[in-house]
Structure 1
Amino acid sequence: MEAFVGIGANLGDARANALDAVARLRRVAGIAVTAVSSLYRTAPIDSSGDDYINAVARIDTTLAPHALLEALFAIEQEHGRERPYRNAPRTLDLDLLLYGGDIVDTATLAVPHPRMTQRAFVLVPLLEIAPHVAVPGLGAAASFAPDVADQRIERIEGIA
């Protein structure tokens, strides 16, 4: 199954944390990283603290959605992720954005990610690697780009 993972960090060495997250994703059994966007610097939204470093990875996975979420949580924990309150600054944040064309709505997982169409830090890197991707139930992801055009986002480097 093709899936997309949002990557973000704004504590510690956020750039190194984002790059390490990609390296750790590559080592998870059942995940093959097929593309990674550039790194982007963005201002916090509904939060405080330093700017974020963000990216999006496209993966092929044999993991079911909840198992994939658990793998993402494990990588966050390896980075010392704490969740003291909603939208707290973080060493690493991994979000399951899309899981094929599936819609998942459980107590622990919502896919497509419920705010992905409202965030430039998701849409810009997502559209960089998947310009024609659709958001299940909503349509073309690109159609939401004008709605986030006022959010500050700066491409800082590509990932090899």
Structure 2
Amino acid sequence: MEQAYIGLGANLGALRATLEAALRDLDALPQTRVLAVSSAYRSAALDSDGPDYLNAVARIETGLAPMELLDAMQAIELKHGRERPYRYAPRTLDLDLLIHGDASMQRPRLVLPHPRLHERAFVLLPLLELAPTLSLPVLGPLAPRLAGLADQRVEREPLPLNWT
């Protein structure tokens, strides 16, 4: 079993309900359980137009290999109406595999650790909420990187996600 971190986001439809349902779907995957979920964070769409996103990060324990987990996550996205008309299009659900144990890989469909997790406050804030001292090879400690993201609008939501 490996610990993994998954970024969740949505900016179309019933954002909170979709993220909560996606967390239940992740928890129901074979050999997988959700261990913890960050607060929800509202953020402006990056690199695109569209409504604000609701984001969170989940820490899971899984026996699924990275590519198996990615396939399962993409099936969950489809279940919740995810379409991919163009890069950075608004979405009903976006699930990103951020970290999978100590895995380091570069494949066409999956790069681990996620190559931009340290550049996005909407990922880094909830990730560091769950793992405040997280350090990654090449990047080192992640917490100091938040200072460079101060120009990205991210607001913590007052109510936690209810997924259990």
Q: Deviations over 1:8-58 (max 9, x none)?
A: 000011111111111111111111111100111000000111000000000
Residue 24 of structure 2 is aligned to residue 27 of structure 1 = no
How far apart in 1 are the matches of 2:18 and 2:60?
19
Instruction: Work out the percentage of aligned pairs sharing the same amino acid.
Output: 53
Q: Which runs of 5+ in 1 are unaligned?
A: none
- Secondary structure in structure 1 of the residue aligned to 2:22: helix
Partners of 2:16 and 2:161 within 8 A in 1: no
Report the TM-score when normalising by structure 2: 0.94
Partner of 1:158: 160
Partner of 2:102: 101
Opposite residue 11 of structure 2, the aligned amino acid is N
Partners of 1:98 and 1:135 within 8 A in 2: no
State the Cα RMSD in Å: 1.0
Deviates more, 1:15-24 or 1:45-54: 15-24
Q: Which runs of 5+ in 2 are unaligned?
A: none
How far apart in 1 are the matches of 2:113 and 2:36?
19
How far apart in 1 are the matches of 2:76 and 2:35?
18
Partners of 1:103 and 1:136 within 8 A in 2: no
Moved over 6 A (4+): none
- Secondary structure in structure 1 of the residue aligned to 2:64: coil
Report the TM-score when normalising by structure 1: 0.96
Q: Deviations over 1:67-92 (max 9, x none)?
A: 00001001001001000000000000
